[in-house]
C-alpha cells in the first residue's frame, strides 16, 4: 500500500530559485537561509520518497486570468519548467506519475471534491523553488511529482477548512493505491509576506511562529483562520498558507515535528519551513 509518510512546509519565493541558479547561495545575504535547509536535504535523502504531492500555487504562468481552477491536479508524465519572463529555470524537467495522479483524481472526485484534471501543464517557481530547497541541484529530480495547484491569486481562494478537508481526502486516496510507495506531501508558499502596496514588506514573525507551533499542536485552529485574518495580520500573500493545511491534514491526526527553520529576510517573505512525520510513520 502507498502511504503518506511525511509532510514538508516550505517557502517558494522565486528569489531563492534565482539565488541557486546564479550561484549566489554563499553570499552574506543568502547563506543563512540556505544553511537552514542543509539538515532538510540530508533528511529527505535518507527518507527517500518515491513520490511528492506538491501543493503549490501557479502565479499566472500555467493559467492566466482567462481560466483559474481552484484545485488543479497535474496528471501528465512530465511538467516542463515555465518561462516566467526571464527564461525557464535551468532545473530538470519535473516527472509526474500519471497513473497515481489519475487514481487520486478518481478517489477525490468521487469523494465529492470537484478537482480540475490537467493533462498538460508547465510549472513555475511555486513548485520549483521547494524542489531546489529540498533536493539541491541534481541532474534529474530523485522523485516523481504530482502537482496540485491551488488558486490563491484571484479572490476567492478556497477556505482553510476546504484545504484541510482536501488533505484528508488525499490521504484516503493515497492509502487506497495498491503499490508500496513512500509518498510525501509538500505545502508551499507563505509565510507572512506582502509584495505590493503601502504595506509591502510586512512580516509578522509572531503570526508565523504561532502557525508553525499549531501545525502540530492545534491544526483545528489553523483551518478556521479567515482569508481576511491572514491578509490583515501577515500580508496579502500570506493567504498562500492555506496550502500548508492541505499538507497538514494529509498526515493524519497526530504528527511528530522533525525539524523547523524560520528566516527573514528572503526577498519579501518570511521563510518558514517545517518537516512533520505522519502518525503512521513508525
- Give the residue numbers marked as catalytic: 125, 193
Rank residues 6 and 153 by Cβ distance to ligand DHB and give the closer one. 153
> In the beta sheet, which residues pair with residue 256?
277
Among 61, 128, 269, 277, binds ligand DHB (CB under 6 A): 269
CB 5 within 8 A of CB 278: yes
Rank residues 97 and 237 by Cβ distance to ligand DHB and give the closer one. 237
**CA–CA dist 150, 55 (Å, integer):** 7
Binding-site size for ligand DHB (CB under 6 A) equals: 12
Residues comprising the chain, all counted: 282
Residue 28 DSSP SS3: coil
DSSP string for residues in 176-242: TS-S-EEEEEEEES-SS---SSTTTT---HHHHHHHHHHHHH-HHHHHT--HHHHHHHH-GGGGGGH
Distance of closest approach, residue 217 Cβ to ligand DHB, in angstroms: 25
Distance of closest approach, residue 182 Cβ to ligand DHB, in angstroms: 28
Instruction: By CB under 6 A, tell whether 89 contacts ligand DHB.
Output: no
Among 5, 13, 25, 107, binds ligand DHB (CB under 6 A): 13
Cα-based torsion angle of the residue sequence 249, 254, 260, 266 in order, rounded to the nearest 10 degrees: 10
Instruction: By CB under 6 A, tell whether 267 contacts ligand DHB.
Output: yes
Binding segment for ligand DHB (CB under 6 A), chosen from 70-78, 213-221, 251-259, 262-270, is: 262-270
Among 9, 189, 235, 272, binds ligand DHB (CB under 6 A): 189
Among 25, 59, 72, 82, binds ligand DHB (CB under 6 A): 59
Residue 83 sits at φ, ψ, to 5 deg, of -90, 110
Distance of closest approach, residue 243 Cβ to ligand DHB, in angstroms: 11
DSSP string for residues in 36-47: TTHHHHHHHHHH
- Chain residues that interact with ligand DHB, rule: CB under 6 A: 12-15, 59, 189, 193, 195, 237, 267-269
Amino acid at each position: 500500500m502507498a502511504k503518506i509518510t511525511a509532510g514538508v512546509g516550505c517557502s517558494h519565493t522565486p528569489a531563492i530559485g534565482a539565488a541557486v541558479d546564479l550561484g549566489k547561495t554563499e553570499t552574506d545575504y543568502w547563506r543563512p537561509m540556505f544553511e537552514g535547509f542543509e539538515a532538510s536535504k540530508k533528511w529527505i535523502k535518507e527518507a527517500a520518497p518515491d513520490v511528492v504531492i506538491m501543493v503549490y500555487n501557479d502565479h499566472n504562468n500555467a493559467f492566466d486570468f482567462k481560466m483559474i481552477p481552484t484545485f488543479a491536479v497535474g496528471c501528465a508524465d512530465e511538467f516542463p519548467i515555465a518561462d516566467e519572463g526571464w527564461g525557464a529555470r535551468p532545473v530538470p524537467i519535473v516527472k509526474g506519475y500519471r497513473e497515481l495522479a489519475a487514481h487520486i483524481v478518481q478517489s477525490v472526485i468521487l469523494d465529492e471534491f470537484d478537482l480540475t484534471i490537467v493533462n498538460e501543464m508547465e510549472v513555475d517557481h511555486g513548485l520549483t523553488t521547494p524542489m531546489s530547497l529540498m533536493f539541491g541541484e541534481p541532474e534529474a529530480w530523485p522523485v516523481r511529482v504530482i502537482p496540485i495547484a491551488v488558486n490563491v491569486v484571484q479572490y476567492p481562494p478556497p477556505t482553510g477548512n476546504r484545504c484541510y478537508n482536501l488533505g484528508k481526502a488525499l490521504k484516503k486516496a493515497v492509502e487506497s493505491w495498491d503499490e508500496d510507495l513512500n509518498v510525501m506531501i509538500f505545502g508551499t508558499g507563505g509565510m507572512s509576506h506582502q509584495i505590493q502596496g503601502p504595506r509591502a514588506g510586512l512580516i509578522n514573525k509572531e503570526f508565523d511562529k504561532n502557525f508553525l507551533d499549531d501545525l502540530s499542536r492545534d491544526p483545528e485552529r489553523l483551518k478556521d483562520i479567515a482569508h481576511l485574518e491572514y491578509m490583515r495580520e501577515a500580508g496579502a500573500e500570506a493567504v498562500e498558507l492555506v496550502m500548508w493545511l492541505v499538507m497538514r491534514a494529509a498526515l493524519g491526526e497526530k504528527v511528530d515535528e522533525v525539524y523547523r527553520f524560520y528566516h527573514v529576510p528572503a526577498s519579501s517573505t518570511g521563510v518558514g519551513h517545517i518537516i512533520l512525520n505522519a502518525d503512521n510513520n513508525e
